[in-house]
């Protein structure tokens, strides 16, 4: 197990260095000039030259890249051209909203995937209806699901809000994840308010990954149900649900866990789009505001953060797979 963890952590570091190099290269081949972006078109040549020297842009490219990497190690992601604040500070402000939406969306995707796989495998009444509804949702883009959800649940039914994280209630911390903070401080009103605002955007990003994970899990369940030890468990008089829970799910989880890790990237992409539709104050809105003004440090900071999250989650998935199935070769 220690060998597996060491290999996965080393691979994660290599991937992140490659990602940082790619972002650094894109910034240098980009036609936008960060100095002119910061100072404006009316800046004098002397001011531009002084600012370029202050930022280290007149140094050799290799030196600039090394300075960029060492800055990343120390948490320095540069300064936003738009907000004039350190990008790391901006990310700490906007990250909790995105993290809460992504985590809740991933949890919802896993729940829907297990429901789809188990219901169709055991042929529960109404399983085919659930399957076709989720398939329909999974073939629809996240932004279309978001708009459709607003039209149905906000405009016509009036049961769920369309924008923001709350109706005005604020969290005093410590995590700035509203659901968690509401539980820690014993605020049921804040919890219900935050949950109502979270349902529509999280459903919009969860349905696509849920279909992919559910189909892989269902296929794995059907294969495992045909094994000899499952027939032995049935011969002992166990019900199908108990057989599934005690003997099948763990042995079928490996492929579904791999698919879950792969779907995290799709979920992150959906979150960034959906945040703009729901006016969700997270990294998606921060990125959308940074793109028109060529705020490359902000865009690179968000990309690195999401890339690190994606790599970390896939590393954890690999480790969980090894725990679930010790036969996996490290």
Q: pLDDT (tens digit, 9 = 90+) per residue, 278-298?
A: 988 899 889 888 888 778 888
Residue with tokens 């320095």: 76
Residue with tokens 């300075």: 67
What is the four-CA torsion angle of 276, 279, 282, 288, rounded to 10 degrees?
40
Question: Which residues, other chains included, contact 209 with Cβ-Cβ below 8 Å and sequence gap of 6+?
Answer: 105, 106, 109, 113, 260, 263, 264, 266, 267
Tokens of 71: 């800055």
Domains of the chain: 2-73 (no CATH), 87-324 (1.10.3720.10)
- Distance, in Å, from the CA atom of 84 to the CA atom of 78, rounded to the nearest integer, reads 10
Helices (H), the chain: 2-29, 34-39, 45-55, 61-73, 87-121, 127-138, 142-149, 178-184, 188-225, 228-235, 240-243, 249-277, 283-290, 296-324
- Distance, in Å, from the CA atom of 178 to the CA atom of 168, rounded to the nearest integer, reads 12
- 284: number of Cβ within 10 Å: 26
- Distance, in Å, from the CA atom of 151 to the CA atom of 198, rounded to the nearest integer, reads 16
Going residue by residue through the chain, which has 330 residues, state the pLDDT in tens, using 9 for 90 and above. 677 777 878 888 888 889 888 888 887 777 666 776 666 676 777 777 787 777 777 778 888 888 888 888 888 888 888 888 899 999 998 999 999 998 999 899 999 888 888 888 777 777 777 777 777 776 778 888 889 889 988 888 888 898 888 887 666 678 888 888 888 888 888 889 999 999 999 998 888 888 888 888 888 888 887 777 777 877 877 777 777 777 777 777 778 877 887 788 778 778 888 888 998 889 988 988 888 877 888 888 998 988 888 888 878 877 777 776 666 554
Please report how many Cα atoms fall inside a 13 Å half-sphere around the Cα of residue 162, on the Cβ side.
13
The confidence score (pLDDT) of residue 37 equals: 67
What is the four-CA torsion angle of 62, 63, 65, 68, rounded to 10 degrees?
180
- Distance, in Å, from the CA atom of 299 to the CA atom of 296, rounded to the nearest integer, reads 5
pTM (predicted TM-score):
0.80
């Amino acid at each position: 197990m220690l060998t597996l963890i060491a290999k996965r952590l080393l691979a994660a570091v290599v991937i992140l260095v490659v990602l940082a190099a790619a972002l650094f290269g894109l910034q240098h081949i980009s036609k936008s000039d960060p100095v002119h972006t910061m100072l404006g078109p009316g800046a004098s040549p002397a001011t531009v030259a002084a600012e370029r020297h202050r930022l280290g842009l007149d140094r050799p490219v290799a030196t600039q890249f090394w300075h960029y990497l060492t800055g990343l190690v120390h948490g320095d992601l540069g300064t936003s051209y738009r907000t004039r604040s350190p990008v790391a500070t901006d990310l700490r402000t906007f990250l909790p909203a995105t993290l809460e939406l992504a985590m809740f969306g991933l949890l919802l995707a896993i729940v829907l995937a297990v429901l789809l796989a188990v219901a169709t495998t055991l042929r529960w009444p109404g399983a085919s209806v659930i399957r076709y509804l989720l398939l329909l949702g999974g073939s629809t883009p996240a932004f279309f699901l978001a708009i459709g959800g607003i039209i149905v649940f906000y405009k016509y039914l009036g049961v769920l809000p369309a924008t923001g994280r709350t109706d005005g209630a604020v969290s005093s911390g410590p995590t700035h994840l509203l659901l968690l903070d509401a539980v820690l401080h014993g605020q049921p009103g804040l919890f219900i308010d935050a949950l109502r605002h979270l349902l529509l955007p999280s459903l919009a990003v969860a349905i696509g990954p849920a279909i992919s994970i559910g189909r892989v899990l269902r296929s794995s369940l059907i294969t495992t149900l045909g094994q000899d030890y499952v027939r032995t468990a049935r011969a002992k008089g166990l019900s199908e649900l108990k057989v599934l829970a005690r003997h099948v799910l763990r042995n079928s989880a490996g492929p579904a866990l791999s698919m879950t890790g792969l779907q995290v990237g799709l979920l992150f992409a959906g979150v960034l789009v959906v945040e703009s539709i729901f006016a969700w104050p997270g990294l998606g809105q921060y990125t959308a505001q940074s793109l028109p003004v060529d705020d490359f440090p902000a865009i690179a900071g968000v990309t690195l953060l999401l890339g690190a999250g994606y790599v970390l989650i896939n590393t954890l998935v690999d480790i969980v797979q090894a725990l679930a199935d010790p036969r996996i070769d490290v």
